[in-house]
Amino acid sequence: MSNHKEWLFPYQVTDHAGREARKLALTLDLSQLIDCATRVPDVDTHTANCLDLLLTSDPDRYSILVTAPLGTSDHCLVKTVSTYSPSDRGPCGVRRVWRYKSAHWDEMRQFFASFPWRPACFSSRDPTSWADAITEVIRLGMEFFIPYSDVASGCKARPWFDADCRHAEACKQSAFLAWADARTRDSPDTRNLKKAYNQASKSCKKALRRARYDHIGRIGTKLASYPAGSKAFWSLAKAIQSNFCRPSLPPLLEPDGSLAHSAEEKANLFATLFADNSRLDVAGKTPPSLPPASSTMREVRIRQREVLNVLRSLDVNKASGPDGIPAIVLRNCAPELSPILTRLYRLSLETGLVPKSWKLANVQPVPKKGSRADPTNYRPISVTSILCKIMERVLPCVCNSFSTAYQRSAQTRHLWVRR
């Protein structure tokens, strides 16, 4: 650590490394913007000090905000904002969490039943536009009648964080702001306010620790009540694993021997590997020519009854595809959505075209045996649209019904000939 009394105040010792670091900053015309304490120990006799630096060549572009530490840490949260930063056009990293238990299913069914589907979705003969429009209407109904919250995708879940924890953190933040304001004004109450903040910080740590331990105890009691190895036991065990640890991929080995560390590098590596393994080497071969058939099969027509039966038998625990349409919505609104989806499936079958949105998939790499650093030891699992999976299940039902009807017709014809 480089100590310099001009930076890491209130330290009064400047070592050789500190002098060289400050000399380098002055040579590069760098200014240090942090001018307040960033570490506040919870011991009354210990002095708050500045341990965090922000060096920049253009200090007028940045604003600094120092707030109370997060959780049980004693290091303050330092936030800097650049007034000239371009808007972030990348992915926002926010996922939407739906609360299906609080959904208004009756209102949603009425919404789908009374929606003007024909002018909104069926104005052309393109299955892709039909599928996109139907998906948009279903998503609109979900936003209207299912409560939801947007959660940062990279944040660690804290299911144990309750109202007591929220109140304790609010008290700590309020005490910190009061102490920081008094310290800036050199108020005589600074020492008392520092003690009040330390007390609020300790109370906050106790509240967080108590809430977490109580949550773990409730989970343990619930696990003990389930039969070992049962479905309910393993479902809860998997939920615990996702709450208390963050699954991630280790650094992956690139073909050139380097390591892929970032999420983007890993995703690109897997995309290249899976694409190469899925590509067929036809070497310019032409498909074989088939002799003409001597008989023709009558037109296969998808009926609404088959679509309704498949919708009612959907597994609500299956993951949704890239379109975000969950199985629980399709199952609960099956009578209202079955005629709409029947028209879509009939058009796709008549035109011989698959909607482009059904060709997309969320690919999840699953490790196999061997080193997890080797990307070849992973196999891809593709999660596609549930609307496409429904059609894949409807077609065998239709073909089976057609085959049964044909067999019955043949038996009847055979009896008629014998007579």
HEC letters along the chain: CCCCCCCCCCCCCCCHHHHHHHHHHHHCCCEECCCCCCECCCCCCCCCECCCCCEECCHHHEEEEEECCCCCCCECEEEEEECCCCCCCCCCCEEEEECHHHCCHHHHHHHHHHCCHHHHHCCCCCHHHHHHHHHHHHHHHHHHHCCEEEEECCCCCCCCCCHHHHHHHHHHHHHHHHHHHHHHCCCCCHHHHHHHHHHHHHHHHHHHHHHHHHHHHHHHHHHHHCCCCCHHHHHHHHHHHHHHCCCCCCCEECCCCCEECCHHHHHHHHHHHHHHHHCCCCCCCCCCCCCCCCCCCCCCCCCHHHHHHHHHCCCCCCCCCCCCCCHHHHHHCHHHHHHHHHHHHHHHHHHCCCCHHHHCCEEEEEECCCCCCCHHHEEEEEECCHHHHHHHHHHHHHHHHHHHHHHHHHHHHHHHHHC
Decide which of 354 and 404 is more confident. 354
Mean pLDDT of the region 62-82: 79
Higher pLDDT, 384 or 301: 384
pLDDT of residue 294: 77
Q: Is the pLDDT of residue 419 over 60?
A: no
Which of 92-96, 218-222, 399-403, 411-415 is predicted least confidently?
A: 411-415
What is the pLDDT, as a whole number, of residue 417?
33
pLDDT of 342 reads 95
Q: What is the pLDDT of residues 267-320, one digit of tens each?
A: 899 999 988 887 777 777 787 888 887 777 677 788 999 999 999 999 988 889
Q: How confident is the model over 184-199, as a mean pLDDT?
A: 85
pLDDT, position 304: 93
For the stretch 333-358, pLDDT in tens is: 999 999 999 999 999 989 989 999 99
Q: What is the mean pLDDT of residues 353-376?
A: 89
Instruction: pLDDT band for 325, please (50, 70, 90 cuts).
Output: very high
67 or 331: which leads in pLDDT: 331
pLDDT at 221 (0 to 100): 86
- Mean pLDDT of all residues belonging to the chain: 81
For position 180, what pLDDT does the model report?
Answer: 82
pLDDT score recorded for residue 142: 95
- What does the pLDDT read at residue 87? 47
Q: Lowest mean pLDDT: which of 189-193, 247-251, 338-342?
A: 247-251
Considering only residues 340 and 238, tell me which one the structure prediction assigns the higher pLDDT.
340
> What is the arithmetic mean of pLDDT over 72-88?
70
Residue 106 has pLDDT above 90, yes or no: yes
- How much is the pLDDT for 2? 56
Q: What is the mean pLDDT of residues 358-385?
A: 89
What pLDDT, in 10s, does the model give residues 94-105?
Answer: 778 899 989 999
pLDDT at residue 241 greater than cutoff 70: no
pLDDT over 70 percentage in the chain: 84
- Please give the average per-residue pLDDT across 325-333, as a whole number: 95
User: How much of the chain, in percent, has pLDDT values that exceed 90?
Assistant: 26
